[in-house]
Structures are given as C-alpha cells and as structure tokens.
A and B are shown apart, each in its own frame.
Chain A
Amino acid sequence: MRYTSKVIELVERYGLVGLLVAIGIFFKFNSATPQFGSSANITNILTDQSLLGILAIATVIPLVAGQIDLSIGPTAGFSGVVCAGLMSKSGWSLGAAVVAAIALGLAVGVVNGLLVAKAGIPSIIATLGIASVISALVLAYSKGLSITTGISPKLIGLGAGKWIGLPKLFYFFVLCAIAVWYGLERTPAGKDLYALGSNPRAALLVGIRVPRRVFSAHVIAGGIAGGAGILLVANVGSGTPQLGPNYTLPAIAAAFLGATTIQPGRYNVWGTVAAVFFLAVSVNGLTLWGASPWVNQFFDGAALILGVGFGLYAGSLRRRGVGAARVTPAEPAEVNPEPPGAGPDNSVGAAAHPISQ
C-alpha cells in the first residue's frame, strides 16, 4: 500500500519527463527520422523553445497568484517591434532600445496589474482586452510592416550564435527559469503568492498584502515578456508585428501541462520547462516523420485540455487517497472523520523524531 502510493507519486512527478526522454529516444532511433538527433535539429529546438519557454515561465507567475495573463505573447511582440523600430527608425543605440523594450513590458504589466489588483477586473478579461489593445498599437507603430533594417548586428548575432555548444538564447532561458524558480519557491514573496493563489481571502486575513502581490505578479510577468521581445528580434532578425499573439496559447498550454508534473497540483517552473520541451520534441519528431504543420496547434490545444483535465483527475485521486470522507466546506460538519494514520500514535511518533536542522 505504502509502496504503491510511492510509485504513483513518482510517476506523477516525473512521468512527463520520462515520457519526454522516451519520445526523444524513439525519434532518435526511428529510421524514418534520421535528422532528429542531428546537432542542427537540437540547436533548432533549443533556440525556438527558449523563447517560448521564457514566455511560459512569465505566464506561470500570475497563474501562481490565481490570475491569468493572456497578454504575455502580444507584449513580447510589442516590445520586439518597438525595440527594432527604435533602432531602425529613431536611431537609438542597442542598449537604449533594450532598456526601452523592457520598460515597455513593465508598463504593460503595470496597466494589467492596476486593472486587476486595483480596479478588480477579472484578469482573464483585463488581459484579453489589453492583448487586443496591444495588437492595435503594434499595427499603428509598424503600419503592419516588418522592421528588417537598422537592427544592431550584435542583437542579431545573439539569435544565431552559440556559447559552449549551446544556443545563446538557451542561456537566457535557463537564467530566467532559475530566477523565477528562486523567486517563487525560495523567497517569502513567492510563498505569499502561492498562498494567495490558493485562498485569497485567507491570505488577506493572515496579513498578506494581497493587492500588492497580485500587482507585482503582473508587473514581473510583463517585464519578462518585454525582455523576451528583444530575444524575439534576435531570433527572427526583424521586428515582426504578427508574431507576438502566436505565443499566447502555447505558453499557457505549457504552464498548465507543467502544473501536472515535478510538483503536481501547482504551477511550477521546472514542470513548465519539462512541458515546453515535451511539446516541442513531440511536434518536432512528428513533423520530421512527415506530419503536416497543423500538428503543432493540435498539440498545444490538446496539451491545454489534457493538462487541466489531468490536474483535476490527479487532484481528486490525491484527495481520495487521503481519507475516507472528506469534510466539504459547504457543510460545517459536526462529525470530523479522522483519516487513517492521523491517530494519536502518529502524532506522538512525529513529535518523538523531530527532523533535525
């Protein structure tokens, strides 16, 4: 009994990673996809997914706080176009354009944050509206044309180059993942964010500054999206107005699928990273095998639904495994069923062996 529950837990935690490895090995040795294991293909995957990965991680932050940001992709596109435009049309230096692009992302985050935390508009509505407004602003600024000239070659070099065998963009992704993981999992602010995502009313009543935390979650997400916009220019080599919104769904799909793995039941950075690569490797392998380009969108949509569905299922399993009859909040139960193993014996045992520091 104990043993099987441990196995189930391991499968839950690392199942997606295991699946990712299995798929990778399958395509590597599949005679129909000889290109899969080539270094060019792997570089390709790492480069492309670095951008999506950063945006998925940005999406995780508001999700942890119980909010969703649908404007992450458009914000990245916006900041990319403006970054390219400032260099190309206004002759700004690379450094100044980079600062401006990040500031722009932060500004979008501030607007989202104010709408959600101050005005109390549900984030799904606020950020959906902002996403549309941003698309309009991008069109107005770019007139719908890609900005291809006058972009700093240093920036474009970032998109193509490698450092010690790995694409440069990948390092940004890793840095971003570590920073956000640290912030969410290892700082008091991150703990507060998880708490208020789980029960905002209770969070308020333990003295957490709920509106401020929700606000900053949106601002940080916006800032990361702004930074990702610059890398988007580096990757594509131009400021392309249509690109941003394409990232919204894949980023959200990865974040939701990521919530079923590594730390199942909560939005988490490493789960999201695993989900990004799981989706990318699957799609890449299938495409090389001859699948049509539409598998990509199909996978994103399926991942989103499966991610949420599996999360619900796993959650109910966890609860069922825990005790016979759970006290539902709806009925202030008079009877408090004690779960097996919660008897006095166990608590005495727990007290007798305090985990030493």
Chain B
Amino acid sequence: MKPATIDGPRTAVAVRGLSKRFGNTQALDNVDLQLTWGEVHALVGGNGSGKSTLIKILAGVLSADEGSLDIDDVTTDLTGHRPEEAARAGFRFVHQDLGVFPILSVADNLGLGGQFVTGPTGSIRARASRERVREVLRRLDLDVDPQALASTLSMPQRALLAIGRALQDVDEQHRAILVLDEPTAALPAEEAGELLRTLRRLADAGHSVVLVSHRLDEVRQAADRVTCLRDGRNAGTLDAADLTEPKLVELILGGKINVTTGAGRIARSEAPVLELRHVSAGPVRDVSFTLRPGEIVGIAGLLGSGRTELLEAIFGVRRINSGDLLVRGEAVRFPTSARMKSHGVAFVPEDRGTGGVFPEHSVATNMTVGQSRRYFRRGWFRRRLMVAEVTRDLTRYSVKAPGAQAGIETLSGGNQQKVVLGRWLRTDPAILLLDEPTQGIDVGAREAILGLIAEASRKGMAVVLASSEFEELTRLSDRILVLCRGQVTQEVHDQTTAHELLEIVLENQRLTR
C-alpha cells in the first residue's frame, strides 16, 4: 500500500457516528471527528462534554456503543476497539498526568514499558539503549543528558519527554496520531508556548496532532482546526483562522449562559465577616481583602496562581507566615480547621476524591461526618434522627441517591459533590470557601451546585469562590480578585464576560512576570 502523502488537508482519520452511553447519561451522541495528516487539531468542550470519553474510546480503553474509525481508507469498528489495535493504527497518547518518573533518569523514563535495548539474557544493553535515547531526544530537539534525572528537567521538558516516549517506536516512515490531553495544564503560559511549537513541528513532519485543551488562547495559537463538543454532541468544527475567542466561548457554552447569577444584593453597610490583612502563606503573598455577609467574591487565576493555597490558609490547613486573619473583626491567632469550623467557616476542597469523600461509607455518614455531635444525645447516638434528616437534605440539595444508607460510591461525581457541599450547607456556615466546586461534573449537576451557592448567599452566607472556569466566576461573583503568582493584582467590580475576565487575567500574568 502506498503511504499517504502530504498534499493538502485530505481527511486521513475519520471517526464516524460515535455514540456511548453510561447508565442514564448519553456521554457521546453520534459524534464525528475528522483529522488530516500534518495538522494540529484542537478538541475543546466544557466539563462533561464528552472529550475524555472520545479519547478513551480512541485509545481502546472504553468500547463504543456505535461508531467506526477510518484511517487511510481502512475502516475499523469502534465497538470492539482494543488498545493494541489503537497502537497499531498509529494512535499515541500523552495524558495529563505525564507519567514521567522524577527519580529515574531520562533514559530510563524512555525505556519503561519494554523499550530498552536488551541483550540475549534480557539484561539492558546500556550503550545501545543510550544510542536509541539520543536518537529520540534529537528528533524532539530535547537537549538534555540521557543520564540526568527527570527531576532536573523543567516541566515543558518533561512534557516533551512524555511525548518522546509516546512516539519513540514510530519511525520516520510511519505516521502517528498523537493525542495530548491537556498537556499544558500544569505549565505557565510562556513554557506552554515551547511545547506548542514542538507540536507544530511534529505536525509539519506529517503526523496528526490532537490537542485537548481548556486554554482558549493556546487553541487559537496552536491549532489549525478546532472541533468542539457540547453535551456529547458535535457543536462544530472551525478553521482556527476564522476563530475569535468569543466565538469559541460561544461554541463551548452554546450561548445558554446566565441560568444562575448572583450579584447585586449586598448590604454594603454590614460589617465584614472575614478580613485578610497582608496574609502570606506559601506561594500566597500579601493578600488583603474583606468579605461581607451575602457577598460572593471570586478568585480568578491560572493554575499555580495560589488559589487553592489562599483558601487553605483561610481554613487553617496551611500555615500563615505573616499577616492577620480576622473573623467578625476578631483576629484568629493560630487557625486550625477545627477552629475555623467553630467560627462558622466551611471549605469545599478542589479534589473530591482525596479531600471530600469518605469512601466505603454511606451517604448519610458522608453528609454528617464531623457533625455527629448533634445526633449524640443523652449518651446515645440517634441514628434514626440522622437518617431522617439526611433523607430530607438529599431532597433539599437535589442529590440523586438510592437513599441515605447507600454507599457514597453509588453516586455519580456530581451527586457526590452535592453531598460534600450539602455537608457544609446544612450547618449554615457564615463563610463558605469553595475551590473548583464544579470540577469534573456534568452540566446538570453543575447548574444545581451553582444554584445552591447562589441561594445560600442570598440568605446571607459569604462566599469565596476560586475557579478556573471564568464563566462560572463572572456569573456568580459580586466582585472578582485576580490572583497572579500569589498576589492580588487587580479587583474587578463591574459585570464582565468570561472572555473579558480571561483577557484581564492573562494581561495581569504578563505584567507580573
């Protein structure tokens, strides 16, 4: 068979009619995706849009309910796609978690997974392996010593190393379809650029590169074409040349914004419930702000801006190095989570799995953990009272669960998050700290959670909302603090759009460099 030649944007890889259903959720509904050799193709979409499912099906990790894959006129049925077939078809994947082991050398990192050159006894032939590694590094223009530990590499270099590992068994005659799942998520903007230039070079060499990204600026910068998924369906494929950021945002959000808004109901005269004076903690430097009852203050910043650390410092789980933390005008000397809780502060952490949910425990236990004192009366634990109250709260916080006694694992991620949020809301906290409250949950659950937050704030609860979803911030917040490299660099009071906010954040990022 004649290998495909690079002569214009001929469709080389086509996914057709892909559908996948999980229980009641239609994750993918008749999705098409067309790639050409030599292009960088961005795949965008909000949380729950189906991007990850699509990629997992291409990788052969999940099987599709329907759908086929054409590569250079060879058709494969995706319902029985296996990882080996995906690899044989030329798919290579670099996941968000790069899988680069810091304590191993560059050469060893490349050799993992059966890529060492071995002798007849199975031992590694050091010299031949090193030669191979040099070759791989040269192809990627990665100028590092193969013997250096991966921990000495910068983040973009590590990403390149991961790409190199994915592509090392693709020789120059063959073409790969390289799929990168948010490779720049952990990178500051300037380092992300370095990585994107490498992707461009790979595309120019004839490969096809699929870039999954949340960063709209880099999509515009790096991609030739953009395919957007929304709620498991194709929302459109555009040439990057025609693309403006507002257009992209509209594609992703589908124009249906402003379901829940906060804004405009604070009594400015009320005394602040929380005040930070020149607080420094870890990467957070000299942050001051006040928070009044009923107010929602958004924290906007890119990854690594110190959003999480700021909230952790307020909740007493990160040491405050200097500055004062005042709750209702009184300084809290040595904040601990237990002390802040007794001051009426609540914290919904970013990572539901490690910080929110108690696995192998019931929904009821998860909802009441840390609050069991209220069911402990006259030396006895009032279990039935607890179950009754939790059952009531499941309705109140619109948690879809088989019942209060069901295991927490039986709930979807979105409903687990509602339990984590409800756990705090049912204690009527004065201050609610939210870190990425809608991360990784579907659109419906997201609206429910945003609604709960807005409702609680209307009743007088003060909210600090840290989020990388700017659309969410602009919808809910009364004002937004822009956090850059640990410092509040700007305060946005006026109504802004997600797009304007992104511009502001990027501008601040440039200025604070």
A322, B411: Cα distance in complex, Å: 9
B400:A344 contact, CB within 8 angstroms: yes
B337:A334 contact, CB within 8 angstroms: no
Q: Write 7 A-B pairs (CB below 8 A) sorted by A numbering.
A: A199-B354, A202-B354, A202-B369, A327-B413, A337-B23, A338-B22, A342-B400
**Interface assignment of B359: CB less than 8 Å from any CB of chain A:** yes
A339, B406: Cα distance in complex, Å: 11
A329:B409 contact, CB within 8 angstroms: no
A337:B22 contact, CB within 8 angstroms: yes
A206:B369 contact, CB within 8 angstroms: yes
User: Chain B interface: which of A47-55, A183-191, A248-256, A273-281?
Assistant: A183-191
User: Chain A interface: which of B196-204, B254-262, B269-277, B382-390?
Assistant: B382-390
B353:A357 contact, CB within 8 angstroms: no
**Interface assignment of A340: CB less than 8 Å from any CB of chain B:** yes
Q: With a CB–CB cut-off of 8 A, which chain B residues contact A318?
A: 407
Given contacts A198-B359, A324-B23, A336-B414, 12 further A-B contacts (CB under 8 A): A315-B360, A322-B409, A335-B53, A336-B22, A336-B48, A338-B22, A338-B25, A347-B394, A347-B395, A347-B400, A350-B402, A355-B388
A351:B394 contact, CB within 8 angstroms: yes
A355 smallest CB distance to B (angstroms): 5
Within 8 A of A (CB), among B5-23: 20, 22-23
Known interface pairs A206-B423, A323-B410; A351-B395 also in contact (CB < 8 Å): yes
B394:A322 contact, CB within 8 angstroms: no
**Across the two chains, which residue of chain B brings its CB closest to A315?**
B360
**Interface assignment of A89: CB less than 8 Å from any CB of chain B:** no
User: Chain A interface: which of B170-178, B438-446, B481-489?
Assistant: B438-446
A201:B355 contact, CB within 8 angstroms: yes
**Across the two chains, which residue of chain B brings its CB closest to A265?**
B360
**Interface assignment of B115: CB less than 8 Å from any CB of chain A:** no
**Interface assignment of B370: CB less than 8 Å from any CB of chain A:** yes
Within 8 A of A (CB), among B382-436: 382, 384-385, 387-388, 391-392, 394-395, 399-404, 406-407, 409-415, 423
B410:A202 contact, CB within 8 angstroms: no
For this complex, into which size category does the number of interface residues on chain A fall?
Answer: 35 or more
Known interface pairs A205-B356, A356-B388; A342-B410 also in contact (CB < 8 Å): yes
B402:A342 contact, CB within 8 angstroms: yes
Q: With a CB–CB cut-off of 8 A, which chain A residues contact B423?
A: 206
A350:B391 contact, CB within 8 angstroms: yes
**Interface assignment of A343: CB less than 8 Å from any CB of chain B:** yes
**Interface assignment of B133: CB less than 8 Å from any CB of chain A:** no
Binary interface encoding of chain A residues 283-308 relative to chain B, with 1 for a CB under 8 A from any of its CBs, else 0? 00000000000000000000000000
A338, B27: Cα distance in complex, Å: 11
- Identify the interface centre among B357, B372, B387, B399: most chain A CB within 10 Å of its CB: B372
Binary interface encoding of chain A residues 163-199 relative to chain B, with 1 for a CB under 8 A from any of its CBs, else 0? 0000000000000000000000111100110110011
A343, B370: Cα distance in complex, Å: 28
B446 smallest CB distance to A (angstroms): 11
Q: With a CB–CB cut-off of 8 A, which chain B residues contact A330?
A: 97
**Across the two chains, which residue of chain B brings its CB closest to A198?**
B358
User: Chain A interface: which of B218-226, B373-381, B447-455?
Assistant: B373-381
Q: With a CB–CB cut-off of 8 A, which chain B residues contact A329?
A: 352-354
**Interface assignment of B280: CB less than 8 Å from any CB of chain A:** no
A136 smallest CB distance to B (angstroms): 36
- Identify the interface centre among A199, A322, A329, A335: most chain B CB within 10 Å of its CB: A335
**Across the two chains, which residue of chain A brings its CB closest to B347?**
A205
A265, B360: Cα distance in complex, Å: 8
**Interface assignment of A208: CB less than 8 Å from any CB of chain B:** yes
* Residue from B317, B361, B380 within 8 A of A198 (CB atoms): B361
A188:B373 contact, CB within 8 angstroms: yes
For this complex, into which size category does the number of interface residues on chain B fall?
Answer: 35 or more
A357, B386: Cα distance in complex, Å: 9
**Interface assignment of A218: CB less than 8 Å from any CB of chain B:** no
B315:A350 contact, CB within 8 angstroms: no
**Interface assignment of B50: CB less than 8 Å from any CB of chain A:** yes
**Across the two chains, which residue of chain B brings its CB closest to A208?**
B370
A199:B373 contact, CB within 8 angstroms: no
**Interface assignment of B338: CB less than 8 Å from any CB of chain A:** yes
Q: 9 tightest A-B contacts by CB?
A: A329-B353, A207-B341, A336-B412, A337-B22, A332-B440, A206-B370, A338-B23, A191-B372, A335-B27
B403:A338 contact, CB within 8 angstroms: no
A203 smallest CB distance to B (angstroms): 7
**Interface assignment of B24: CB less than 8 Å from any CB of chain A:** yes
**Interface assignment of A118: CB less than 8 Å from any CB of chain B:** no
Q: With a CB–CB cut-off of 8 A, which chain A residues contact B400?
A: 338, 342-344, 346-347
B424 smallest CB distance to A (angstroms): 8
B428 smallest CB distance to A (angstroms): 14
**Interface assignment of A333: CB less than 8 Å from any CB of chain B:** yes
* Residue from B27, B354, B381 within 8 A of A201 (CB atoms): B354
Q: Which chain B residues have a beta carbon within 8 Å of chain A's beta carbons?
A: 20, 22-25, 27, 47-53, 97, 315, 317, 336-338, 340-342, 347, 349, 352-361, 365, 369-370, 372-373, 376, 380-382, 384-385, 387-388, 391-392, 394-395, 399-404, 406-407, 409-415, 423, 439-442, 445
A266:B360 contact, CB within 8 angstroms: yes
**Across the two chains, which residue of chain B brings its CB closest to A340?**
B23
Q: With a CB–CB cut-off of 8 A, which chain B residues contact A194?
A: 361, 365
**Across the two chains, which residue of chain A brings its CB closest to B445?**
A336
B388:A357 contact, CB within 8 angstroms: yes
* Residue from A186, A326, A351 within 8 A of B380 (CB atoms): A186
B413:A336 contact, CB within 8 angstroms: yes
Known interface pairs A327-B412, A327-B413, A341-B402; A334-B341 also in contact (CB < 8 Å): no
A323:B360 contact, CB within 8 angstroms: no
B385:A208 contact, CB within 8 angstroms: no
A339, B410: Cα distance in complex, Å: 6
A335:B25 contact, CB within 8 angstroms: yes
* Residue from B23, B25, B50, B388 within 8 A of A354 (CB atoms): B388
A350, B349: Cα distance in complex, Å: 29
A229, B395: Cα distance in complex, Å: 52
* Residue from A187, A204, A356 within 8 A of B376 (CB atoms): A187
**Interface assignment of A325: CB less than 8 Å from any CB of chain B:** yes
B284 smallest CB distance to A (angstroms): 18
* Residue from B340, B354, B409, B440 within 8 A of A323 (CB atoms): B409
Q: With a CB–CB cut-off of 8 A, which chain B residues contact A206?
A: 337, 341, 369-370, 423
Q: With a CB–CB cut-off of 8 A, which chain A residues contact B53?
A: 334-335
A342 smallest CB distance to B (angstroms): 5
B381:A187 contact, CB within 8 angstroms: yes
A195, B381: Cα distance in complex, Å: 16
Known interface pairs A207-B337, A355-B387; A339-B23 also in contact (CB < 8 Å): yes
B359:A199 contact, CB within 8 angstroms: yes
B24:A338 contact, CB within 8 angstroms: yes
A354:B409 contact, CB within 8 angstroms: no
A213 smallest CB distance to B (angstroms): 10
Q: With a CB–CB cut-off of 8 A, which chain A residues contact B52?
A: 331, 333-335
Q: With a CB–CB cut-off of 8 A, which chain A residues contact B411?
A: 339, 342
Q: With a CB–CB cut-off of 8 A, which chain B residues contact A191?
A: 365, 369, 372, 381
A187, B97: Cα distance in complex, Å: 41
B357:A199 contact, CB within 8 angstroms: yes
- Identify the interface centre among B356, B407, B410: most chain A CB within 10 Å of its CB: B410
Q: With a CB–CB cut-off of 8 A, which chain B residues contact A185?
A: 381
B452 smallest CB distance to A (angstroms): 16
B358:A202 contact, CB within 8 angstroms: yes
Q: With a CB–CB cut-off of 8 A, which chain A residues contact B382?
A: 357
A192, B413: Cα distance in complex, Å: 24
A334:B338 contact, CB within 8 angstroms: no
Binary interface encoding of chain A residues 114-146 relative to chain B, with 1 for a CB under 8 A from any of its CBs, else 0? 000000000000000000000000000000000
B258 smallest CB distance to A (angstroms): 23
A350, B51: Cα distance in complex, Å: 34
* Residue from A195, A326, A335, A354 within 8 A of B369 (CB atoms): A195
Q: With a CB–CB cut-off of 8 A, which chain A residues contact B48?
A: 334-336
